[in-house]
Structure 1
Amino acid sequence: MDQTNDTTAARRVEITARGGLADIKIGGTAIDPGAVKAYSLSHFAGERPEVLLHVADRGDTLWSGMARVAVADLPDPGPAAAVFLEAIDPEALERAALARPDLGTDQNSLTKAMLTQLGEWARGL
């Protein structure tokens, strides 16, 4: 991308998403898919849309241009996990885990089935 001193200049961003993959172009220039590990879009009425790119740790990708940069800590997942787990009905979890077709007979199989079930519920499956 061209560097500019005009901090109000907008760049055209194209994202073509297919399943878990996305092709990203900024100003017509394709971005190496391995250079971005995630992205998010937001748009509030009356404001410009924003694209947040979560850059992967790659030393061979060069970034240039103007950007508004914000550094944030990842939120602690503990409180959200605690709320989720407190809402689980133990009887329903046990029934679901025992009914799983992948329930094994090895040591800790029931625990593994319960953790798998909780993960699926957390993802809305």
Structure 2
Amino acid sequence: MDHTSDKGTARRVEIIARGERADIEIDGTRIDPSAVRAYSVSHFAGERPEVVLHVADRGDAQWSGLARVAVADVPAPGPAAAVFLDAIDPETLERAALARPDLGSEPYSLTKAMLVQLGEWARGL
């Protein structure tokens, strides 16, 4: 993938992913795998591709070059959770919770089963 900065300098980025590992090279220079804890690649139609390297918190890692940097706050989960919960049918939730094999008989076991069920639905299980 070629990435061109605002100044016109092309950077060749190569990522070879093998299972849980990935080898990353920038302009033919291999990046120490312990210096990167994650990466993401995105490409929207009509725009240049973007590679984001999430740097491990290591004092001995050294980076040089140009980069576009964006700082963002982690979005609050409340609005998304509210939309999810608004879509839940109470009767369907109660039936699913009562049918769970892990439903106990101790106090608050139905509430616990409902919360577990909601968590599974949120994760698409």
TM over 0.5: yes
SS at match of 1:103: coil
Offset at 1:26? 3.2
For 1:110 and 1:17, how far apart are their aligned partners in 2?
A: 43
Q: In the alignment, what sits opposite 1:16?
A: 17
The correspondence for 2:31, drawn from 18, 22, 29, is 29
Structure richer in strand, relative to its length: 2
Aligned length: 115
- Please state whether the residue corresponding to 1:23 is helix, strand or coil: strand
For 1:124, the equivalent position in structure 2 comes to: 124
Q: In structure 1, how many angstroms separate the alpha carbons of the residues matched to 2:110 and 2:54? A: 37
State the SS of the aligned residue for 2:81: helix
Structure 2 equivalent of residue 108 of structure 1: 108
Residue identity over aligned pairs, in percent, reads 62
- Mapping of 1:31-46 within 5 angstroms? 31-32=33-34, 35-36=36-37, 38-46=38-46
SS in 2 for 1:26: strand
Q: Does 70-79 or 38-47 show the bigger shift?
A: 38-47
> 3-state SS of the aligned residue for 1:25?
strand
Match for residue 81 of structure 2? Answer: 81
User: CA separation in 2, counterparts of 1:31 and 1:50?
Assistant: 19
Alpha-carbon distance between aligned partners in 1 of 2:64 and 2:55, rounded to the nearest angstrom:
15
TM-score, structure 2 as length reference? 0.73
- Normalising to structure 1: TM-score of the pair? 0.73
User: RMSD of the alignment, in Å?
Assistant: 2.5
Q: Which residue of 2 aligns with 1:93?
A: 93
Q: Contact 1:24/1:31 (CA < 8 Å) preserved in 2?
A: yes
In 1, the alpha carbon distance for the partners of 2:62 and 2:110 equals: 48
Amino acid at match of 1:65: S
Q: Which has the larger radius of gyration?
A: 2
- Report what 2:72 is aligned to: 72
Higher RCO (CA 8 Å, separation ≥ 6 residues): 1
Can you list the C-alpha shifts for 1:54-86, whole angstroms capped at 9, x where unaligned? 445x23451402221111111111111101101
Equivalent position SS for 1:16: strand
